[in-house]
Amino acid sequence: MIPASSLSPSAGVPALSMTGRLWALLALLGLLWGGSFFFTQLVVHEIAPLSLVALRVGIAAVALLAFLALRRMPLAPLRQRAGAFLLLGLLNNAIPFLLLAIGQKAMGAGLASILNATTPLWTILVAALATSDERLSGPKLVGIGLGIAGVAVLVGPEAFGAGHLAPLPALAAVLGATFSYALAAVFARRFRGVPPTVVATGQLCGSSLIVIPLALLLGTGPGLGAMTPAGIMSMLALALVSTAFAYILFFEIVARAGATNASLVTFLVPASAILLGILFLGETLSLREVLGFGAILAGLAAIDGRLARGVAKAWGSR
């Protein structure tokens, strides 16, 4: 899950140093966003995906509005940019949350989180086509190639046949969610100067105005009242912890350490989702998933560049 304000280093946010406290917050954020796949896996088998998303964004939006009120932060930007927040909410919450929920009805939380980790790859491609200041470079091309190779390993040549690790429509739904996140990340460039927590609140209010009426109109099924106690607790955790609180946590890291350091959470989310799935959902990882995940991580490391620079610096000092 990549928030809209997780822009590339060239987006104007300086890459500051990471303190021990910030590393701890980053690890917690990776656990929370990994938990979003875990909680979705529990809830999506009790209510329809559209109902799940409506509850998720609605509860999270109310929580963040309350947070802004307690902090006495101005709400004028929400009214002034209502149309833009509606589009951001569509691209960054409504579409990807729904596609992820649909995909997770047919695959495990671990595999869904691995595919979700490809979001930075599509973001780089979209930014290169849609902007003038985020061009492709050699390391980015290498990283994109490795990432696409990882996805190809996960999908495999038998994707259209029986016995595949997940149905092709489910794989396509999750990858569609990552592409929607990429579009949102580029669109979010226009919100520079707006407090990040206000951006998070605006996008969740926008997605709520889209998804909740749609869920009511289509009558997608029962909500919290028809869920088991475990399902209700998972839904509340998904909305309040893995969405509302996680956004606040992310934006604090961005403000104190820069977007580049905050983007390292991409490496942690699949690991936490996989661990939770193995411990509590009885999921396992196949060799194909391990190899595909490894290629995606290598691609992200190549794009980030800091690992390569650190190795080169250490080698040069010998």
Confidence of residue 53 (pLDDT cuts 50, 70, 90): very high
* pLDDT for the residue 176: 96
Tokens 């470079």 -> residue: 137
Rounded Cα–Cα distance for residues 49 and 177 (Å)? 14
Asked if the model's pLDDT at residue 151 lies above 50, the reply is yes
For 221: left if phi > 0, alpha if psi spans -120 to 50, otherwise beta; the answer is left
Using one digit for the tens of pLDDT, what is the confidence trace for 213-266? 999 998 766 567 778 999 999 999 999 999 999 988 887 887 777 655 666 677
Confidence of residue 10 (pLDDT cuts 50, 70, 90): very low
Q: Where are the alpha helices (DSSP H) in the chain?
A: 20-43, 49-71, 76-80, 82-89, 95-104, 109-116, 119-130, 138-155, 168-187, 196-218, 229-236, 246-262, 265-280, 287-304, 306-316
Confidence of residue 144 (pLDDT cuts 50, 70, 90): confident
Cβ distance 16 to 256 under 8 Å? yes
Rounded Cα–Cα distance for residues 34 and 276 (Å)? 8
Contacts of 37 (CB under 8 A, 6+ apart): 100, 104, 109, 110, 112, 113, 116, 269, 273, 276, 277
Using one digit for the tens of pLDDT, what is the confidence trace for 75-110? 888 989 999 999 999 999 999 999 999 999 888 888
Cβ distance 285 to 121 under 8 Å? no
Average pLDDT value for residue range 163-186 = 85
Confidence of residue 17 (pLDDT cuts 50, 70, 90): low
Dihedral of alpha carbons 207, 212, 213, 218, sign? positive
Name which residue leads in pLDDT, 42 or 310.
Answer: 42
The one-character DSSP state at 190 is: G
Using one digit for the tens of pLDDT, what is the confidence trace for 274-287? 888 888 888 887 88
Enter the tokens of residue 315. Answer: 């080698």
* pLDDT for the residue 317: 65
- Choose the weakest-confidence range: 16-20, 130-134, 173-177, 210-214: 16-20
* pLDDT for the residue 161: 46
What predicted TM-score, i.e. pTM, was given to this entire model?
A: 0.81
Q: Which of 61, 60, 26, 56 is nearest to 42 (CA)?
A: 56
3-class state of residue 11 by DSSP: helix
Average pLDDT value for residue range 194-205 = 90
* pLDDT for the residue 39: 95
* pLDDT for the residue 157: 61
Q: Percentage of the chain surpassing pLDDT 90?
A: 33
Confidence of residue 185 (pLDDT cuts 50, 70, 90): confident
| 132-to-5, 10, 152, 194 alpha-carbon distances in Å | 18, 11, 29, 22
Contacts of 20 (CB under 8 A, 6+ apart): none
- Choose the weakest-confidence range: 17-21, 168-172, 207-211: 17-21
* pLDDT for the residue 27: 86
Asked if the model's pLDDT at residue 163 lies above 60, the reply is no
